[in-house]
Structure 1
Amino acid sequence: MVEILDNELKGLTGNKTHDEARQGEAFAPAADLPNIFKKRFYIESYGCAMNFADSEVIASILQNEGFGATRNTEEADLIFINTCSIREKAEQTIRKRLSELKKVKKTNPGLLVGVLGCMAERLKSKLIEEEKLVDIVVGPDAYRTIPQLIEEAETGQKAVNVLLSREETYADISPIRLNSNGVTSFVSIMRGCNNMCSFCVVPFTRGRERSRPADSIIAECIELYEQGYKEITLLGQNVDSYHFIPVNGNDSEAVSFARLMERVALISPDLRVRFSTSHPKDITDEVLYTMAKYENICNYIHLPVQSGNTRVLQMMNRTYTREWYKAKVDRIREILPDCGISSDIIAGFCTETEKEHQDTLSIIEYSQFDLSYMYFYSERPGTLAARRYPDDIPLEVKKRRLAEIIELQNEISYQSNIKDLGKVFKVLIEGNSKKNENEWMGRNSASKVLVFPKGDYNLQKGDYVNVRVTDCSKGTLIGKVESLN
């Protein structure tokens, strides 16, 4: 996927773009902890935001077992690679990294190397038996067993647990924030996915949907706010299908996603609330009206379309048509006129014709996405598409179609930013601009990045400020402080 705005994973990917993170090119080494531990661990994360959130859970589990974090692989007794299987390139990148670590092990025989996450579940036998790249393999639902697996691996045995669960949500584990900017944070509200899109490996690597208890989510959000965080992104493979039905404990009623989002918004008007990702079939008017009701729920929805052609969408098992998706965009614009909308788009899916590709271009034009994550189709073993459909679009055609999609999206993104010239936005300062330490970087409610001079104002990370837009590029709004908030 190609990101037009560098925003969603800021603070987790070392200032890499979401595109690089999803393709496995970004990493998040664990933040250093006090030097009171006998053994040190290092975590490198690849893939979606769920993987980065998982790494924070793993760091908490390891710290409770007496492991301290390090940013230096040479100091580490244990190295974990948290992996992604969404595209072939992601797996190739991770295999290359594991081969590099295999050489490191020759100079440090006591070093243990483990693979976590989606790739671990999918390629467990190859990684351990055939290629002998790792000592430990742990699937997304087995992180609680990591301490036992480490003990097993220390005896010279290969340690594996990739069992999926229908209950595990890690609700009782307080994550350790990795590479945090201290302003924004992810909070996982559910795990797994039931949608079974034909191109996607997630249901096979992360299992069925499980919603985390609402009270535990609220408690984590309150704790983050009390620690100084000003923005929380509620995270799940399909957040709009969140539905918690209490069996026992403090929760007394069923909680929908709209109700959960409202409860988080009510923690404080100074706490911004975002969410990702939405499936078009599940986002409801209740969610949209809740967003409209609270100023601190950001006007931004990531609404993956994948294709603009109904036949291709049916092959993808997306459960909606081209016209249905357009009507959903219309409904969002009706209830939330200033809402930013982004999307995921696949070029060159199985049997896609040139006319069907043109349908994708036209739905981008119709929807006026502020940004898109765009990539060409990469067949993933074990998916429904791999079993049923020929991957019959030549690579050069996929790349050409992708280039056309990117060109159109770049122009739409630029025109969207031009429309913001002269407007004043409330911006949450996330940190220094990566190009100029004399400038701040932040985002508005619609998730657009704004960069502006620090000037003589006594501002700091986590402050809100009103910024007037004076210039723009296709990916960034440029402005100046209009007034303090």
Structure 2
Amino acid sequence: MTVFRFYNSLYLTKNLTNRINKSSLSHLTWFPSKILFDTACIYQKISYTSFPSSKSQKSKKYLVFDNKTSFKDFLQITSATKTQNHDLYKKKDSNELIGIADQIPYLKNDIKTLGINTKYFIEVYGCQMNVNDTEILMSIMNSSGYQKTSRLEDADIVFLVTCAIRDKAENKIWHRLNVLKSMKKDQKPLIGVLGVKRLKTKLLDADKTVDIVCGPDAYRSIPHLLSLAVQTSQGIANVMLSADETYADIMPVRLHQDNVSASLSIERSRPLYPSIVEEVKTLSDRGVKEVVLLGQNVNSYRDTSEYDFYKSLGLGNQLSNDGFKTIYRRKEGGIRFTELLDHVSKIDPEMRIRFISPHPKDFPTDLLKLIAERPNICNQIHLPVQSGNTKIDSINCISILISMSTTNVDIDKLFRYLDLVNTIRDIIPNVSISTDIITGFCGETEEEHQDTISLMEIVKFDMAYMFAYSMREKTHAHRNYLDDVPGNVKTRRLNEVIQTFHKNAKIKLNTLLGNPQLVLVEGISNRHNERFRGRTDGGHKIYFDNVQVLKCIDDQMLNRSDNCKVLDTDNQKIDVKIGDYVIVVPTSTTGATLYGIPLAKSSIAHF
């Protein structure tokens, strides 16, 4: 494979490429030229001197826009104490930030109109954050003239939106690409894979199946990447990183317009005003009853758009709970997650607010008190732990793989985590605590696995996401550690983790039996058409029969001390519909699910 790397941005034209003879390709290292990109790489399976002109061309060429930086450089960039906005590459003007691929000189104007009446189809894999990315993508595509279709066979373009955090998710994508490959015989449809920048060259190399690969910071460039792929018949990837891109000006197009719940990304300190507030108001006006604030380390949010103003107010001084460390230098000023949650929860008192995924280090007392005091902020907190052993856990900082490199085992990390759990439960009555558990890490011993089991026995989590560790290529662990825990051992340990969780979760669920819960009705049960499904304030799934309930219920009728027995009344009964708040009394449990009896409609304020 011949690799060209162009520094200070070289733009390529057909004439320039044709002037380079085949013998000189292996000696080519760089050309200075007009600055359009910080770094551009062209990879070739077979060296040749011109762009492929037809589908019969056997050689495959692909263009990758990347500005990858080392982890050390990233930390250095983000360590400044007063910098309001950081970018992993040199600051560009606003036109370049709108879409780097838009400035490619040989992208003809008529090709840029590819989107008119062109249909696209989307498949989403993985977590809620991928769903949120999809909704941003849909807004970008629609504004460029593309039309979404629900029929794969009608699509001119197929997008697979995913991530490669886990081996299972990656395998799903490869399996799906094999299925889609059969549709490529007539050059339709174009196929794009979004969110897996680590696999960019591997995807573009996959038998000409994938046409574009795009990282999460470059979605604005997708319409022009598609145009470029059509014009040049080559694979295109834009995986450039940006610490400034928040898509703050883009109103997502919801995948399911009728859903009573919606997610909202606050990634990378997206401005609170007007961006976040206006989107929440729009969702409220549309009748959405629950908003989930999304972000990696979501509670580490910091809005610097009004840096001096917020610093003058002294906001954000109490950032992290004592004892937890971070690899980043603490920054003063800016509006923090506590203030964001305060503002957002006031927009609509009858709209529930949840957030995910937080980090244990950023739960100051003020944040916990706000959750306890504000009725529409759900009493549910996700507290990732990943392992109960301090040698391989991620309690102390940002990453399981980074903390694995620590040589000093600090037992205080475990105590700090347990102390935080106790503090949360002291401040927020009836709180539900969920977590992430991964078992079978590199070098994990049986004793270390038992530490995880012991932690689960102590905390008794209400909910948990549990997985066996899978090695990912091009990661710190892949370069420095050996995935030496056998597969059958991983499976056995995972089963033990799951069994421990369900045993303790059942105990926690049993404490809810007979105690009335305010349930948001989310839809009809997939298994029983005569049942509704909903979710409690603590995030527990609950099912109940689709029967008429009381129109309202007062405090005297709702006798919580007597298992919520309803007194005789002439109160009118009405139908329940999706989006209602209903008082439901749990009567039984199965696994991590509740079943109950509906009593009456209610509201957050009244309940």
Name the TM tier (shorter chain): 0.7 to 0.9
Contact kept? 1:181, 1:430, Cα under 8 Å: no
Query: Which structure 1 segments of 5+ residues have no match?
Result: 1-35, 191-209
Determine the structure 2 residue equivalent to 1:221: 280
Tell me what 1:110 maps to: 188
Shift, 1:248, TM fit: 8.4
How far does residue 473 in structure 1 lie from its aligned partner after superposition?
A: 1.0
Pair 1:305-2:381 in alignment: no
Output the amino acid matched with 2:302: H
Partner Cα distance (1:40, 1:362) in 2: 53
Distance 2:600 2:499 in 1: 36
In structure 2, what residue type is equivalent to 1:113? I
**One of 136, 145, 149 as aligned partner of 2:225:** 149
Q: Does 1:128 align with 2:128?
A: no
Alignment-derived partner of residue 201 in structure 1: none
CA contact (8 A) 2:547 2:576 kept: no
Deviation (angstroms), 1:132: 2.1
1:266 is aligned to 2:346: yes
Q: What's 1:76 paired with?
A: 155
Which residue is equivalent to 2:74?
none
- In structure 1, the partner of 2:355 is 275
Q: Which residue identity lines up with residue 119 of structure 2 in the other structure? A: R
Instruction: Check the 8 A contact 2:372/2:427 in 1, yes or no.
Output: yes
Q: CA deviation at 1:251?
A: 8.8
Correspondent of 1:324 among 399, 402, 416: 416
Q: Which residue in 1 is equivalent to 2:533?
A: 441
* Residue of structure 1 equivalent to 2:127: 48
Residues 186 and 429 (structure 1), Cα distance of their counterparts in 2 relative to 1, 3 Å cut: same
Task: Name the larger-Rg structure.
Answer: 2
Q: Structure 1 residue 181: deviation in Å? A: 4.3
**TM-score calculated relative to the size of structure 1:** 0.85
Tell me if structure 1 keeps the 8 A contact 2:532–2:546.
yes
The match for 2:482 among 390, 402, 411 is 390
2:468/2:491 contact within 8 Å kept:
yes
Distance 2:448 2:221 in 1: 47
Q: Could you tell me whether the CA contact under 8 Å between 1:309 and 1:321 is conserved in 2?
A: no
Taking the aligned partners of 1:96 and 1:270, their CA distance within structure 2 comes to 43
Which residue, out of 168, 181, 190, partners 2:245? 168
- Per the TM alignment, residue 110 of structure 1 is displaced from its structure 2 partner at its CA by 3.4
- Which residue pairs with 2:256 in the alignment? 179
Which letter does structure 1 place at the counterpart of 2:236?
Answer: A
For the structure 1 residues 148 and 249, does the alpha-carbon distance in structure 2 shift closer, same or farther, using more than 3 Å as the test?
A: farther
Deviates more, 1:69-78 or 1:244-253: 244-253
Name the CA distance, whole Å, in 2 between partners of 1:130 and 1:291.
48
Other structure's SS at 1:399 match: helix
Q: Tell me, what secondary structure is at the counterpart of 1:219?
A: helix
Distance 1:473 1:214 in 2: 41
Give the whole-Å Cα distance in 2 for the aligned partners of 1:250 and 1:160: 40
C-alpha deviation, 1:265, in angstroms: 0.6
Aligned residue type for 2:243:
R
Tell me the distance in 2 between the aligned counterparts of 1:184 and 1:116.
24
Quote the residue 1:91 is aligned against.
Answer: 170
- Is there any run of 5+ residues in structure 2 with no aligned partner, and where? 1-114, 314-333, 395-399, 404-409, 549-573, 603-607
Q: Which amino acid aligns with 2:413?
A: T
For residues 139 and 316 of structure 1, the distance between their equivalents in structure 2, rounded to whole angstroms, comes to: 22
Q: 1:423·1:468 contact (CA, 8 Å) conserved in 2?
A: yes
Aligned length: 428
Same amino acid, percent of matched pairs: 43
Partner of 1:63: 142
Q: In the alignment, what sits opposite 1:421?
A: 513
The alpha-carbon deviation at position 384 of structure 1 amounts to: 1.9
Partner of 1:432: 524
Using a 3 Å threshold, how does the CA distance of structure 1 residues 287 and 68 change in structure 2: closer, same or farther? Answer: same
